[in-house]
Amino acid sequence: MQKNYVLTDGNSIPYLGYGTFRISDGSDVLNSVLHAFQTGYRCIDTATLYGNETGIGQAVKASRLERSEVFITTKVWNSDQGYEQTLLACRASLKRLSLRYVDLYLVHWPIAASFFDTWQAMELLHAHGRAKSIGVSNFGIEQLESLKTKAKHLPVVNQIEFHPQLQSPELVQYCQKNNILVQAWAPLARGEVQHIPEIQSMSEQLKCSPAQLTLAWMRARGIMPIPKSKTPARIDENYAIHSLSLSQDIVEKMNALDCGRRLGPEPSHFWA
Ligand code: NDP
């Protein structure tokens, strides 16, 4: 069994999740998520944008796991933001997922014109039990501070691009100080961590893979990674980090790899 983080709303979330971006709906996502469940993952990350919520719902059903044993995250896409639109978007996601509630509902990107209204809808969805926890993604300090001025409940999660070469130390420190769990998207730098020489040499020393070292380092930092793989052997490899404990020296060497190298859009990309 995986260990959990406890969110500020009291809900638990596994230390490690399974990402599903660019896994097509239908048999692709069904088989991948079923394999992830068999391996031991219990937390699945999707989004309306990924177009695979239907297959994920089918995998939850086919797994025969109790609903309370799985943790499903989805996100409201940018063009669905606003008060009414967010309520409708959540209802549509739940329908595709064949679920009565999601465990975590995230605002995918901050949109300046609508993010207060969107957040009010998120709070209503939380109050009505449609989203057990609510959070954001790709929010910077500025947006989180703005949210603070009007929100009844602060986000319990901020899902951001985070990997050894992009560590956003100020934002991570801000989130951790405000008890917002940082989830790392692209935790393996989309597969590139295996080519970083320092990570190669440290992982050889530790007799693990570069991906495993990277994921274990995040756990040591109190950050929750959601690696994606469609390859069964890599799904297993990424999960098998539970016995890997890192020395402070290794943690610091990994910390030193930050060079601000972003792979995805700037967080302010949609903030117009
Ligand atoms: P990841 O860093 O998880 O990398 C995925 C890539 O790495 C795939 O090409 C995969 O290949 C490869 N890979 C996986 N495991 C290994 C391994 N052990 N060794 C070598 N290569 C490996 O990138 P993602 O962009 O997918 O991010 C993870 C998740 O984060 C997404 O799937 C999605 O759920 C979420 N996300 C959220 C965003 C947001 O804005 N909130 C934005 C982007 C992603 P293969 O599949 O062929 O095995």
Residue 239 falls in the annotated catalytic set: no
Q: Is the CB of residue 43 less than 8 Å from the CB of residue 251?
A: no
Q: Whose CA is nearest to atom 24 of ligand 1?
A: 186
- Per-residue pLDDT tens over the stretch 85-108: 999 999 999 999 999 999 999 999
Q: Taking the C-alpha atoms of 113, 115, 118 and 124 in order, what is their torsion angle to the nearest 10 degrees? A: -140
- Atom 25 of ligand 1 has which residue's CA nearest to it? 186
Report the pLDDT value the prediction gives residue 38, as an integer from 0 to 100: 98
- Answer whether residue 98 is part of any domain: yes
Give the chain's length: 272
Kindly list the protein residues whose Cβ atom lies closer than 6 A to any atom of ligand 1. 19-21, 45, 108, 137-138, 159, 185-191, 194, 209, 211, 226-231, 234, 237-238, 264
Q: How far is the CA of 117 from the centre of ligand 1 (A)?
A: 31
**Nearest protein Cα to ligand 1, atom 34:** 19
Residue 126, domain CATH? 3.20.20.100
pLDDT digits (tens, 9 = 90+) for 34-91: 999 999 999 999 999 999 999 999 999 999 999 999 999 999 999 999 999 999 999 9
User: For the whole prediction, is pTM greater than 0.85?
Assistant: yes
Domain count for the chain, please give it: 1
The CA 151 to ligand 1 mean position distance, Å, reads 32
Q: pLDDT above 70 covers what percent of the chain? A: 99
Contacts of 64 (CB under 8 A, 6+ apart): none
Pocket test for ligand 1, best of 229, 231, 238, 271 (most atoms within 8 A of CB): 229
Give domain status of residue 56, yes or no: yes
Whether the per-residue pLDDT at 218 is higher than 70: the answer is yes
Distance from the alpha carbon of residue 21 to the mean position of ligand 1, in angstroms? 7
The answer to whether residue 1 scores a pLDDT higher than 60 is no
Report the C-alpha gap between 47 and 37 in whole angstroms.
19
User: Average pLDDT for residues 203-226, to the nearest whole number?
Assistant: 98
Q: Does residue 248 surpass a pLDDT of 90?
A: yes
Catalytic residue among 15, 18, 50, 105: 50
**Which residues are CB-contacts of 36 (< 8 A; sequence separation ≥ 6)?**
18, 44, 235, 239
Residue pair 187/227 in contact (Cβ under 8 Å)? The answer is yes
Quick one: average pLDDT of 129-147? 97
**What does the pLDDT average to over 247-258?**
98
- The answer to the question of residue 106 being in a domain is yes
CA atoms within 13 A on the CB side of 74: 28
Is 268 domain-assigned? no
**How far apart are the CA of 18 and the centre of ligand 1, in A?**
9
pLDDT bin (cut points 50, 70, 90) of residue 2 is low
Interval 146-174 mean pLDDT: 97
Q: What is the chain's mean pLDDT, rounded?
A: 96
Whether 122 is covered by a domain: the verdict is yes
Per-residue pLDDT reduced to its tens digit, 161-181: 999 999 999 999 999 999 999
User: Which ligand 1 atom sits closest to the C-alpha of 106?
Assistant: 41
Answer yes or no: is 91 within a domain.
yes
Contact between residue 132 and residue 70 where contact means Cβ atoms under 8 Å apart: no
- Ligand 1 centroid to Cα of residue 213, in Å, is 15
Reported as a single tens digit per residue, the pLDDT across 112-136 is: 999 999 999 999 999 999 999 999 9
Is 265 inside a domain boundary?
Answer: no
Which helix (H) or strand (E) element contains residue 67? none
Is residue 239 in a domain?
yes
Domain interval for residue 255:
4-260
Q: Tell me the C-alpha distance between 208 and 270, whole Å.
A: 38
